[in-house]
Structure 1
Amino acid sequence: MQPKTLERWQFSASVLLPVILALVITAAAVLGFVFWSTANIDQRALERQSSMVAQVIEARRAQVQHDLESVAIWDDAVVNAKLYFNFDWVDSNLGAWMYEFFGHNRSVIIGADGTPIYAMEGGAAAASEDLADMAASVRPIVERVRAIRPAEVAAGEVPPPAAASDFMLLDGRPAIVSAMAIVTDSGELMQSPGSEAIMVGVLFLDEAAAERLNREYLFEAGRFVLTESRDPARAVYPILSSTGRFIAFFEWDRDRPGLLMLRQTGPALVAAFIVAAILVFLLLRQLRRSSSELENGRRLAEHQAAHDKLTGLPNRVSFDTHLADTLTNGKFAGAHIALLMLDLDRFKQVNDTLGHQAGDDLIRAVGDRIRAVVGHDMMIARLGGDEFGILAVGQHGPVDVVSISTRIIDSIGQSFTLNHFKAHVGASIGIVLAEGGSAEPRELVRKADIALYEAKAGGRNRAVVYEEHMNELLQLQHTIEGELREALRRDDQLSVVFQPLVDQHSRKVIGAEALARWHHPKYGQISPARFIPIAENTGLIEALGDFVLRRACELGATAPGRTIAVNISPTQLRNPRFSHQVFDILRETGMRPLDLELEITESILLDDEHISSQNLRTFRTAGVHIALDDFGTGYSSLSYLKRYPVDRIKIDRSFVSQLAEGHVSVAITQAIVTLAHAMDIEVTAEGVETEGQAAILGKLGCNTLQGFLFSGGVVPGRIAEIFADPANAVTRRRRKSAA
């Protein structure tokens, strides 16, 4: 190498590369901070507006009831509306007054016998033939007022009138409805309880009401709607009745100060990045010119083409070439050939938790450990990602692949030190054996991949040697996929059963978990353990999950106050429209959000995706409960429980099945229950099969039990009978505030 060329290369490597890296890191940091600030500011503005909407809507409801007090507590109203009906007086002093002075859209007066005696609509008295329809629409709130017992007051005092108000749908329109008994204000016209006339005031949540809110509270294009527009530029606040049913949504254009700031500062940022890009381009061009003068450039390029840059091992191209040469080379005819395909378990979690640099360090360390186990007599290649290939040739006898695989798994199972953290991964290995000169490379790789798939499906961190029946099993997987697609289009194969959830203290059935079942006309009952993973891998899980959720909500609508639990997959939760789909099903079936419990797995929390997190918080805001299933079997971490809104954790059946006095599972379960209760999280134990297990769980403080000790999955009709049994009567549950 000429001295001048070496000097230029050293200058480029020592000066230009740090400058380029500094510019790239600075640009990424600036962009990240700007977008983070924009999103954070917009989110805070949305939270403030949502809080204001909640207060304003509630104030409107209270105001309608307060309006009624001005005319319902009045001796003249008692005389003219009950003692002897004076239509003109009622029309002028009650109907017209409530419309003109308070803006009520409709007023209805119900007599002591429950018949309507007067109604006003839009400031004019309603025709007699319309009274019955108007009275029928407000009958629920009138019955609530009739059911209120008079308050006890001191002698000589007048008890306050019975009154109630709520959000309702009248004639398909959302409205604030308030009802109040017409009583004396002087105490001289006493009436027996329940005999009073009832006055009902209605304020429709229509365009006029929305314009008034827009004018008074400066909402942009606010309106009341029955269905969300799903426009990301619009904010939505759900209006619920006192029973938890959806009534309407109030939508308005979001105030986005962060986005406004970004638009104002955007041109300056773009200009800065353009200047930086030009500078980076010039620096890269100079670096390229310098590196092209190196005499070993050609040899370096050839090496990089045949080797993995990260580990220095041969890459997939080299491995495929070497495998083909070995199988076709006459020198190896009749030799014993073993192909091992290795894939790391839990690599994604390490990569996501500690960063990509730590993931790269882990891949390099794994390559070193494999080489240390097998030596230099076998070819090792990194095939891509976290997958490695090993080719062993035994010319004098079979290769001991079982011993080699065991040593590799044990070696990789030891902890790795990455960025001062301890990381743990496993290895799954698929093995195929062949003879030189009698195997085809692609077929050999395919069989090794099938064996690797079986190793992962069988529990991971293990080695599996390919056998012909595995290919048949894989074909069966494809068959099940096709049959499942057909079953989802039909209505006579898939069904949902419900396994009771039992309160540990009272042993009452307080709810049920929905479980999918598939009875195939040819193959009979197909286990969920077989068809649900296939649904996950083929994209059918969303259709299957929608089917189960709808059946669960149909049951939940008929059993208010009972918890109906439904398992959801990570694929569903990562769908931006999943929360809308759930709310649509709740609205269509009439089930209360408070009664629905969605069960998620720890893998969802590990993903830490923005959409999944947002969906979880949306559900909690609407009253839907969140349960963490199979707790204790994966990467259970206190940080997940603190970061995500979880109402319940479910202890996995693997702990419950081992519960016995003195067994370590008792101590583990006690720790889980204590941790959960300290964080105000309830605990359910799955797989309870004996009274002994139930007794231990009761001593440990577990809240809810589930298992064959009480019942397996039963059909909807049977679970409805269980709910209806007086022995399982439950009191109204307390709603825990959303995180």
Structure 2
Amino acid sequence: MQAQTSTTERWHFITAVLLPVVLALVATAAAVIGFVFWSTSTIDQRAIERQTTMVTQVLQGKRDLMLKDQGGIAIWDEAVIHTGQTFDHDWVHANMGLWMHNFFGHDRTMVLDAQDQPLYVMEDGQAAATTSFRDMASGVMPLVQQLRTLIGAGRMADFVSGRAEAPPTVCDFALVDGKPAIVGVTPIVSHTRTLTHTPGTASLMVSVRFLGEQAVTEMMHQYLIEDAAFVLVPSASPDRVSYPVINDAGRFVAFFEWTGDRPGRLMLGHTVPVLIFVILAGALLFILLLRKLRGSSAALKEGRRIAEHEAAHDRLTGLPNRTNFDTHLARILREQKAPSTNIVLLMLDLDRFKQVNDTLGHQAGDDLIRSVGERIRLVVGNEVMVARLGGDEFAILAVTHNRPFDAMAVSGRIIEAIGRPFDLGHFKAHVGVSIGIVEADASSAEPRELVRKADIALYEAKASGRNRAMVYEEHMNELLQLQHTIEGELRAALNRNDQLSVAFQPLVDQKTRKVIGAEALARWYHPKYGQISPARFIPVAENTGLIEELGEFVLRRACEIGASAPGRTIAVNISPTQLRNPYFSNQVFDILHQTGMRPIDLELEITESILLDDENISAQNLRTFRAAGIQIALDDFGTGYSSLSYLKRYPVDRIKIDRSFVSQLAEGHVSVAITQAIVTLAHAMDIEVTAEGVESEKQATILGKMGCNTLQGFLFSGAVIPAKIAGIFADPLNTPERRRRARNRAA
């Protein structure tokens, strides 16, 4: 009984006295450390702001000093006499060029006549040929023209008449000979206003002082700026401060860069050890106190050690061209009138050529096109015409009389030949080919119609999955017309609010079988054509430029749902076209702000083709999203390149295993090994995995054993309307497992 009372008192003392003391000490230490770090960061920021303001004033002062230096020489009766009335080169060199160089440190001095032609040029203290002015004209002439405009507006007349104390002058930053400089332009006029000349005929004095090593040295010594330089490309170092030098026209000239003064960091270096010492000393005293008061200090010390440990650890053909092909086709159809003459036309277009061209460069693309032409020629021989129509498009034209031409067999051999790897220097490239075929009687065929039909068949081959051949059939023309109809109706639907909608398919946690989010899917119900499959209208939107407007509609509806269910992941598919838009990230953040959805609840699903796209805009958008907490998922993984090496360049948070693998999951099937390899490699890179198309409990079980994180498919739910998904989100117990149990009880 006494032991039980002692234990009760000890726990009462710990919970009533020691725990509040511990929490107070921890809160105080955290507040002090937080305040120190905040204070030092604020001090550093204000120091950088002061230095930036000083640099701004110094540079403006150098501009003002340039005009002051010029005014003492250019506004002078002697200068007017020796430059305007009779040009005296020696006098100008001694009293203007050398003076400006030796006494004021100007690197270039020029005298221009009334036609802005150089009369005198000084470079680095030496008289130079006036032809050298051409090298500087691009940086100097805009300011000369600006001054001429001021003179033409009457500003010189104001000075001559006495209405103005000084003549008009111009001084600005400019690039001269590719180097940043201060350029000043002052008219050469009489300081007594007694020597006059026809308005607009005044000579001009132009001075150039480069913002080079000498200017930097002066600023470093006079204003205590460390390790400064004028550069055209800023440093990526976090210790460097870059100030953009912008001229009056708003154009960038250079960056003034220096090592920023960070007194806060210095203070932090002195303060932190003291703080650490004080905290450690206080902790030691507190531990000693605990040991004196109670015998449970060992457990508390071990707990603190564990807590501290946990807190501190965690990549040319020579064939006929299009004109030759068109002429040859027209001639054959014009000359071949025998009833037994048949024409077979194959139109070929490479699959994934753009990725190779963009990734490995145009030279590699040219080598690839050359190799493709050689392989096609080896397959079809020299009896038929092979033409390159442009880009990655080819055509094969065969004329047969009594001997048939098996177009599908030839196409199969071409697809097999093009599918083999291409050696491009140090790289191997993999491409495919889609082929459209049309056969016709030469006596009745028209060139344009023949090519049009072959193009339609090629379009169908690409729409059916690429890397295959399709023979033209009349119904394909109807399908193409349907594409045009879908385009027009989709444009109209985007301007209405009663046809397009968004459905949501739940995402289920594999372990708990609870709904943790949903994927937003576009739906279109047309009053005349009924429900139109996304497989039909999404490609049309991609090919016609409507995908951005459609994507914005889906994203906005998804974010409206996401805003009402914080903590639930809402996944939205985005197209490569959207991601290449430099304003796409602004659009996403605007929608998040307007709807109130948290960025961390949004998941953007991209396709593998985006990872092969080297466009800077796409990459920058992805980095911007991830920095804001938006998750990136790689959709349909396993159907394209499926290379995890691309994930090192564009990191993603999740990959989605394509339903084609999930549907084949069974004991002993190769899809099990492939899927397991994908999950293992993804987890090794800290990437979560979602399986799409889960339709059976057996598939879900196998995926669970593999360690798949999230499941999605008809086993749990198809796509539902917004109101229903909102209801699912509102009920934390409304899980697929609970619904199945309810059905079993009802049965």
| TM-score where L is the length of structure 1 | 0.59
Using the alignment, how far apart are the partners of 2:555 and 2:663 within structure 1? 29
Residue identity opposite 1:720 in structure 2: A
Please name the residue that 1:594 is paired with. 600
1:496 aligns with 2:497: no
Using the alignment, how far apart are the partners of 1:331 and 1:585 within structure 2? 64
Deviations 1:584-629 (A, max 9, x none): 1111111111111111111111112111111111111111111111
Q: Is there any run of 5+ residues in structure 1 with no aligned partner, and where?
A: 1-149, 165-177, 179-209, 222-253, 267-309, 731-739
Select between 386-395 and 318-327 the one with higher mean Cα deviation.
386-395
Deviations 1:476-496 (A, max 9, x none): 000000000111100000111
Q: How do 1:407-426 and structure 2 match up within 5 A?
A: 407-426=413-432
Using the alignment, how far apart are the partners of 2:576 and 2:409 within structure 1? 37
Question: Contact between 1:326 and 1:332, CA under 8 Å: does it hold in 2?
Answer: no
> What is the Cα deviation at residue 420 of structure 1?
3.7
Deviations 1:456-490 (A, max 9, x none): 11111111111111111100000000000111100
Please name the residue that 1:616 is paired with. 622
SS in 1 for 2:518: strand
Using the alignment, how far apart are the partners of 1:159 and 1:368 within structure 2? 77
Alpha carbons of 1:474 and 1:423: their partners in 2 closer, same or farther (altered >3 Å)? same
Question: Contact between 2:505 and 2:717, CA under 8 Å: does it hold in 1?
Answer: yes
> What is the Cα deviation at residue 408 of structure 1?
1.8
Question: Contact between 2:245 and 2:255, CA under 8 Å: does it hold in 1?
Answer: no
Question: Which of 554, 560, 569 is 2:560 aligned to?
Answer: 554
Residue identity opposite 2:678 in structure 1: I
Q: Is there any run of 5+ residues in structure 2 with no aligned partner, and where?
A: 1-13, 32-41, 54-239, 257-315, 737-747
Question: Contact between 2:691 and 2:712, CA under 8 Å: does it hold in 1?
Answer: yes
Question: Which of 404, 411, 416 is 2:410 aligned to?
Answer: 404
> What is the Cα deviation at residue 363 of structure 1?
1.4
Using the alignment, how far apart are the partners of 1:532 and 1:725 within structure 2? 33
Deviations 1:423-473 (A, max 9, x none): 222221111111122111111111111111111111111111111111111
1:658 aligns with 2:660: no
Question: Which of 332, 340, 355 is 2:346 aligned to?
Answer: 340
Please name the residue that 1:431 is paired with. 437
Residue identity opposite 1:607 in structure 2: D
1:454 aligns with 2:450: no
Please name the residue that 1:565 is paired with. 571
Please name the residue that 1:645 is paired with. 651
SS in 1 for 2:605: strand
> What is the Cα deviation at residue 638 of structure 1?
2.2
Alpha carbons of 1:632 and 1:156: their partners in 2 closer, same or farther (altered >3 Å)? closer
Please name the residue that 1:522 is paired with. 528
> What is the Cα deviation at residue 380 of structure 1?
1.2
Deviations 1:336-379 (A, max 9, x none): 11111111122222222332222212211221222222222111
SS in 2 for 1:473: helix
Q: How do 1:225-304 and structure 2 match up within 5 A?
A: 256=242, 263=253
Using the alignment, how far apart are the partners of 2:728 and 2:567 within structure 1? 14
Question: Which of 562, 585, 595 is 2:591 aligned to?
Answer: 585
Question: Which of 625, 628, 633 is 2:634 aligned to?
Answer: 628
Alpha carbons of 1:265 and 1:581: their partners in 2 closer, same or farther (altered >3 Å)? closer
Please name the residue that 1:606 is paired with. 612
Taking only aligned residues, the RMSD between alpha carbons, in angstroms, comes to 3.1
Residue identity opposite 1:441 in structure 2: P
Deviations 1:502-561 (A, max 9, x none): 000011101111111000000000001110011011111111111111111111111111
Question: Contact between 1:430 and 1:464, CA under 8 Å: does it hold in 2?
Answer: yes
Please name the residue that 2:673 is paired with. 667
Q: How do 1:336-485 and structure 2 match up within 5 A?
A: 336-485=342-491
Question: Contact between 1:502 and 1:511, CA under 8 Å: does it hold in 2?
Answer: yes
Alpha carbons of 1:155 and 1:422: their partners in 2 closer, same or farther (altered >3 Å)? closer
> What is the Cα deviation at residue 153 of structure 1?
3.2
1:680 aligns with 2:686: yes
SS in 1 for 2:664: coil
Using the alignment, how far apart are the partners of 2:22 and 2:242 within structure 1? 52
Residue identity opposite 1:695 in structure 2: T
Deviations 1:192-228 (A, max 9, x none): xxxxxxxxxxxxxxxxxx999767844979xxxxxxx
Residue identity opposite 1:385 in structure 2: G
SS in 2 for 1:371: helix
Residue identity opposite 2:415 in structure 1: I
Please name the residue that 1:723 is paired with. 729
1:505 aligns with 2:511: yes
> What is the Cα deviation at residue 390 of structure 1?
1.1
SS in 2 for 1:673: helix
Residue identity opposite 1:711 in structure 2: S
Alpha carbons of 1:394 and 1:529: their partners in 2 closer, same or farther (altered >3 Å)? same
> What is the Cα deviation at residue 259 of structure 1?
7.8
Residue identity opposite 1:576 in structure 2: P
> What is the Cα deviation at residue 258 of structure 1?
8.1
Question: Contact between 1:629 and 1:651, CA under 8 Å: does it hold in 2?
Answer: yes
Please name the residue that 2:743 is paired with. none
Alpha carbons of 1:676 and 1:158: their partners in 2 closer, same or farther (altered >3 Å)? closer
Using the alignment, how far apart are the partners of 1:351 and 1:154 within structure 2? 68
Using the alignment, how far apart are the partners of 2:630 and 2:389 within structure 1? 45
Alpha carbons of 1:431 and 1:698: their partners in 2 closer, same or farther (altered >3 Å)? same
1:328 aligns with 2:334: yes
Please name the residue that 2:544 is paired with. 538
> What is the Cα deviation at residue 421 of structure 1?
3.0
Using the alignment, how far apart are the partners of 1:713 and 1:635 within structure 2? 28
SS in 2 for 1:434: strand
Residue identity opposite 1:153 in structure 2: V
Deviations 1:643-666 (A, max 9, x none): 113111111111100001111111
Using the alignment, how far apart are the partners of 1:585 and 1:697 within structure 2? 35
Alpha carbons of 1:619 and 1:329: their partners in 2 closer, same or farther (altered >3 Å)? same
Question: Contact between 1:496 and 1:715, CA under 8 Å: does it hold in 2?
Answer: yes
Using the alignment, how far apart are the partners of 1:652 and 1:259 within structure 2? 52
Question: Contact between 1:336 and 1:399, CA under 8 Å: does it hold in 2?
Answer: no
> What is the Cα deviation at residue 583 of structure 1?
0.8
Q: How do 1:68-217 and structure 2 match up within 5 A?
A: 152-154=16-18, 217=49
> What is the Cα deviation at residue 705 of structure 1?
0.4
Residue identity opposite 1:417 in structure 2: D
> What is the Cα deviation at residue 715 of structure 1?
0.9
Deviations 1:58-92 (A, max 9, x none): xxxxxxxxxxxxxxxxxxxxxxxxxxxxxxxxxxx
Alpha carbons of 1:259 and 1:528: their partners in 2 closer, same or farther (altered >3 Å)? farther
Using the alignment, how far apart are the partners of 2:414 and 2:320 within structure 1? 19
Alpha carbons of 1:357 and 1:215: their partners in 2 closer, same or farther (altered >3 Å)? closer
Using the alignment, how far apart are the partners of 2:665 and 2:340 within structure 1? 55
Alpha carbons of 1:314 and 1:157: their partners in 2 closer, same or farther (altered >3 Å)? closer
Question: Contact between 1:152 and 1:159, CA under 8 Å: does it hold in 2?
Answer: no
The structure number with the bigger radius of gyration is 2
Using the alignment, how far apart are the partners of 1:346 and 1:619 within structure 2? 27
> What is the Cα deviation at residue 415 of structure 1?
2.3
Residue identity opposite 2:17 in structure 1: V
